[in-house]
Amino acid sequence: MSHSHKSLEERITKSLSVLKEDLNTVRAGRANPALLDKVMVDYYGSPTPLKNLSNISVPDPRTLMIAPFDPKSIGDIEKAINVADIGITPSNDGKCIRLGIPQLTEERRKELTKTTKKMGEEAKVAVRNLRRDANDALKKQEKDGELTEDDLKKELDKVQKTVEKAVKDIDDIVAAKEKEILEV
């Protein structure tokens, strides 16, 4: 495998994992701790990921429960959840914070499905840009005499196959998320 092909695969893998992370923040009707992945708490003056400050559990399919390791931080955590604008108001009993995940309305499901599709499209654009970069690099190698014309054809073909597989993976990831959104 040529060096450029390996780096193409690594960059595609990174694009797919970014897509998965972004989709995790799209709230479906089920309680998913990943919803809180991007919540940062101002903890003694430094922004700290919520998951480093608390134990996050799912006592039932519609509830996220956040148990702070430091009881004094509960107010800051509640504030951070409100600021993160995930569309759910936290309730706090002094020890734990509960997030009740509301049922999605039909309209909200449609919106979320659209958002999900858009994220998938953006990931495809990113992957196609990676293809263009890889192809340009290969054509330059051929021009500089580092690759024969036959090698160039083989490498371009490999790039195309890698990108086609990535596009299919993106479709699968998006379809799985849509299924989660449409689940009642």
Q: Which two tokens stand for residue 83?
A: 């600021």
What pLDDT shows up at residue 140?
94
For residue 126, which amino acid is it? A
Average pLDDT over residues 135-158: 94
Q: Under DSSP, is residue 136 helix (H, G, I), strand (E, B) or coil?
A: helix
Give, to the nearest 10 degrees, the angle between helix 149-182 and helix 106-143. 170
Residues 125 and 155 in one domain: yes
Q: Which two tokens stand for residue 46?
A: 């430094």
Boundary of a domain, candidates 74, 100, 126: 100
**CATH number reported for the structural domain that contains residue 77 in this entry:** 3.30.1360.40
Residues 8-58 have pLDDT tens digits of 999 999 999 999 988 887 766 677 888 888 899 999 889 999 999 999 999
What pLDDT shows up at residue 53?
94
Residues 93 and 154 in one domain: no
Residues 94 and 162 in one domain: no
Residues 91-126 have pLDDT tens digits of 999 899 999 888 778 888 888 899 999 999 999 999
Per residue, the 3-state secondary structure of 11-80, as one string, reads HHHHHHHHHHHHHHCCCCCCCCHHHHCCCEEEECCEEEEHHHHEEEEEEECCEEEEEECCHHHHHHHHHH
Boundary of a domain, candidates 100, 120, 135: 100
Residues 67-99 have pLDDT tens digits of 999 999 999 999 999 988 777 889 999 899 999
Average pLDDT, the chain: 90
Distance between CA atoms of residues 18 and 124, nearest Å: 12
Q: Under DSSP, is residue 181 helix (H, G, I), strand (E, B) or coil?
A: helix
Residues 139 and 86 in one domain: no
Distance between CA atoms of residues 139 and 107, nearest Å: 48
Global pTM reads 0.66
Distance between CA atoms of residues 40 and 49, nearest Å: 5
Domain extent at residue 125? 3-27+105-183
Residues 175 and 114 in one domain: yes
Residues 95 and 116 in one domain: no
C-alpha 60: how far from its chain's center? Answer: 23
- Number of separate domains in the chain: 2
For residue 124, which amino acid is it? K
**CATH number reported for the structural domain that contains residue 159 in this entry:** 1.10.132.20
Residues 75 and 124 in one domain: no
Boundary of a domain, candidates 100, 117, 147: 100
Q: Which two tokens stand for residue 174?
A: 């998006």
